[in-house]
A = this chain, B = another copy of it.
Amino acid sequence: MSKLLEFWFDLGSPAAYLAWKRLPKVLAQTGASVAYKPMLLGAVFKAQGNASPVTIPAKGKWLLGDLARYARRDGVPLAYPPGFPINTLALMRCAIGLQMRNPVRFVPYVDAMYDALYGEARDLRDEKVLAAALAAAGFDPAEMIALASDAEVKQALIRNTEEAVSRGVFGAPVFFVGEEMFWGQDRMDFVAEALTA
């Protein structure tokens, strides 16, 4: 029987971007189904007493080189948008809003935003840049602004983030296979093993 993989992510995490890019291979290889779980990583950090690794200068410096090695190995472009790490609140509200209101458009949206951020290093803090990136992927920027302002959508993102914290998530990306938790794009080999065990 096909197992379920939960993928917890924030568009603000370049490690989650690398995982997002490799995820289709893991799903194809294992026959697993997937539940995408948008969360707010900043709120998760705060609740768990954790912080972005870039807050420790030596670790941040190492991390850039480390992620670059993974990107090269996977054949994936990796750049950083101006102002990185960026505030992803509106972007993540749109992600979960699409899951609720137009689920078939969820994956294309996440694809487009991850590519804009870490493939092309676009400054999505700039409304015009964001609108262009949305339009290029077939989204109506005005509709997306409305989605990000929807009270039910806001609540759903809060609920997901609270669930993440209560289940022990402290970073991104995180995978669950049942209640076994795996943190990091560098643990996807263990994830694949758990999905085929």
By a beta-carbon cutoff of 8 Å, the part of chain A in contact with chain B is 48-50, 55-59, 61-62, 65-66, 69, 168-171, 180-183, 186-187, 190
Contact = CB atoms under 8 A, between A and B. Distances in A.
Contacts of A56: 48-50, 170
A66 B183 contact: yes
Number of copies of this chain that the complex holds: 2
Chain A contact residues: helix, strand, loop or mixed: helix
A41 to B, nearest CB: 13
A49 B62 CA distance: 14
7 contacts: A48-B56, A49-B57, A62-B170, A62-B183, A65-B180, A65-B181, A186-B186
A31 to B, nearest CB: 22
Nearest to A187: B66
Nearest to A51: B56
A57 B183 CA distance: 14
Given A56-B48, A56-B50, A57-B49, A168 B69 contact: no
A65 B73 CA distance: 26
